[in-house]
A and B are shown apart, each in its own frame.
Chain A
Amino acid sequence: MHTQSDESLYHQMRGGDEVALETLYDKYERLLFSFAHRFTNNDRLSEEVIQEVWMKIWNGRVDFNTEKGKFSSWILTITRNAALDCLRREKRQPTIEIEERDGGFDEPVERTVMQRETAAEVREAVQELKPEQQELIELVYFTGLTQQQISDQLELPLGTVKTRIRSAIQALRKLLEGRER
């Protein structure tokens, strides 16, 4: 059992500890792969994204500190940025299919990072959002579209887009908080 925190493993790894690197890699492998896959919809590109992430981390091209919040949020942000860069390189946009994503939530999954079962909780929380809020969450997190592009796609004024995104995020947060014990 690993009882060491991600933060302490990270610092060991930055000191050149290859075992700490492997431990962190194992811990996040499946989460990062599934996450990257959600953007690329492609195994090979997802692997490239994850390799890029660990290259950056191992070689200190990105640096984590606790001011940046939790390690898990940070590494997902790095992965998301790498995935969006990859999409831009590939000049492709991921398919936006809310229904497919919702359907995908049904399968049972083994979680490697969080101890509690959050998949079902988030799925339920997302389903409680209004459809337009679900769409906004999808557009913001997984497409990397600019605010202008989102505004064009939804035929909404630029300022309205930002306000609605903010309220969708806050609504999801509230729903998730309500589910925590």
Chain B
Amino acid sequence: MEERCHNLIDYFNGTLSASDREAFEAHIATCDECKQALQEMEELMLPIAESLPERPVPTGMKSRILGEVLASTNETRQETPHVTKPQETELEAARANKQRKRSVPLGWLMSIAAVLVLSLGANAYLLAQEDDPEQTETLAMDEVNGMGNFESTASIQGSSMIFTKDDKEYMLVQLKDLPPLKKGELYQMWTIQGDQVKANGVIEKDGQAAAVFALKGSGKVDAVAITVEPEPDLAKPTGEVIASATL
């Protein structure tokens, strides 16, 4: 008998550590005696259970348990969503918060961009996550009106998207490799509509960033540009354009 054979009872009772459990599972694949002994123990479970005196089941147990189990379906599906149709409550939250700027991890956003484009036939949905993955917000898009990648003089990468939701227009910006800012500086987003240039959103961090801004003005946005500015929302850019995306 091998040393591992002594772990059979503890394996059956779930008292082994994770590493011992894995080792025993590897062992049992090659030890016919343990395999058979475990099978015998499991096969006796049904007759032993059936031999027990029957207990009266508490009133309403079935509806409580099935109610909880069926309600757990949605929770489980929400645990690992990427781009998904939001639940009604999420939609309501998204509506209530829609004017708020949302910051989302950039890598994650990048990965969903292609999915969003593919979803245009139906409604496209964006799930924005804060740093805490438990805090999931949903932003529903009715229509995507334009999308483009940034070209940069400063190795900035990213993309921008204009979309509508409830007849309002929004601009999504996702960026990475933003160069470090000096104290007091900020990244200013500008929208270019024909010959009009409007300050439309500020990002006050370097590195990676992503945000959604309510679009100012109306009409088709031709391009989004980024400059470094000393103050937010100036009438005209004072710094040089370091990145721009044609939509």
User: Footprint of B on A, CB under 8 Å?
Assistant: 18, 21-22, 25-26, 29-31, 33-35, 37-38, 43, 46-47, 50-51, 54-55, 58-59, 69-70, 72-73, 76-77, 80-81, 84-85, 101, 104-105, 107, 109-111, 113-114, 118-119, 121-123, 126, 137, 140-141, 144-147, 150, 158-159, 161-162, 165-166, 169-170, 172-173, 176
A34–B65 alpha-carbon span in the complex (Å): 16
Known: A34-B49, A51-B69, A121-B47. 11 other contacts (CB 8 A): A43-B55, A51-B64, A51-B65, A55-B68, A73-B45, A77-B45, A84-B14, A85-B14, A140-B9, A140-B12, A169-B40
B72 at the interface (CB under 8 A from A): yes
| Contact A21/B48 with A158-B6, A162-B8 known, Cβ cut-off 8 Å | no
Q: Which residues of B contact A113 (CB under 8 A)?
A: 46, 50
Instruction: Say which residue of A54, A55, A72 sits within 8 Å of B46 (CB atoms).
Output: A72
Q: Which residues of B contact A25 (CB under 8 A)?
A: 62, 65-66
| Contact A122/B14 with A30-B54, A58-B69, A69-B39 known, Cβ cut-off 8 Å | no
Q: Looking across the interface, which residue of chain B has its beta carbon closest to that of A165?
A: B9
A146–B40 alpha-carbon span in the complex (Å): 19
| Contact A126/B51 with A30-B57, A113-B46, A169-B44 known, Cβ cut-off 8 Å | yes
Q: Which residues of A contact B73 (CB under 8 A)?
A: 58-59
Q: Which residues of A contact B44 (CB under 8 A)?
A: 141, 169, 172-173, 176
| Contact A118/B70 with A34-B54, A37-B55, A147-B6 known, Cβ cut-off 8 Å | no
The A-contacting residues of B in range 36-90, CB under 8 angstroms, are: 37, 39-55, 57-58, 61-62, 64-66, 68-70, 72-73, 76
Q: Find out whether the CB atom of A162 lies under 8 angstroms from the CB atom of B6.
A: yes
Q: Looking across the interface, which residue of chain B has its beta carbon closest to that of A146?
A: B15
B13 at the interface (CB under 8 A from A): yes
| Contact A147/B53 with A47-B61, A51-B69, A166-B37 known, Cβ cut-off 8 Å | no
Q: Find out whether the CB atom of A50 lies under 8 angstroms from the CB atom of B65.
A: yes
B234 at the interface (CB under 8 A from A): no
Range class of the B interface residue count:
35 or more
Q: Which residues of B contact A126 (CB under 8 A)?
A: 51
B222 at the interface (CB under 8 A from A): no
A14–B215 alpha-carbon span in the complex (Å): 45
Q: Which residues of B contact A54 (CB under 8 A)?
A: 65-66, 69
Q: 23 A-B pairs, CB-CB below 8 angstroms?
A: A21-B70, A30-B57, A33-B57, A33-B61, A58-B69, A59-B72, A59-B76, A69-B39, A84-B13, A101-B52, A104-B52, A113-B46, A140-B9, A140-B41, A141-B45, A141-B48, A146-B13, A150-B9, A159-B6, A162-B5, A169-B37, A172-B44, A173-B44
Q: Which residues of B contact A161 (CB under 8 A)?
A: 9
Q: Which residues of B contact A172 (CB under 8 A)?
A: 44
| Contact A81/B58 with A51-B68, A166-B37 known, Cβ cut-off 8 Å | no
B7 to chain A, nearest CB (A): 8
A126–B49 alpha-carbon span in the complex (Å): 13
Q: Find out whether the CB atom of B46 lies under 8 angstroms from the CB atom of A47.
A: no
Q: Find out whether the CB atom of A34 lies under 8 angstroms from the CB atom of B70.
A: no
Q: Find out whether the CB atom of B57 lies under 8 angstroms from the CB atom of A73.
A: no
Q: Find out whether the CB atom of B58 lies under 8 angstroms from the CB atom of A69.
A: no
Q: Looking across the interface, which residue of chain B has its beta carbon closest to that of A74?
A: B42
| Contact A29/B62 with A34-B55, A84-B14, A173-B44 known, Cβ cut-off 8 Å | yes
Q: Which residues of B contact A84 (CB under 8 A)?
A: 13-14
B10 at the interface (CB under 8 A from A): yes
Q: Which residues of B contact A170 (CB under 8 A)?
A: 40
Instruction: Say which residue of B46, B58, B64 sits within 8 Å of A43 (CB atoms).
Output: B58
A126–B65 alpha-carbon span in the complex (Å): 33
A106–B23 alpha-carbon span in the complex (Å): 43
Q: Which residues of A contact B6 (CB under 8 A)?
A: 147, 158-159, 162
Q: Looking across the interface, which residue of chain A has its beta carbon closest to that of B76?
A: A59
**Binary contact track B2-26/A, C-beta < 8 Å → 1, others 0:** 0001111110111100000000000
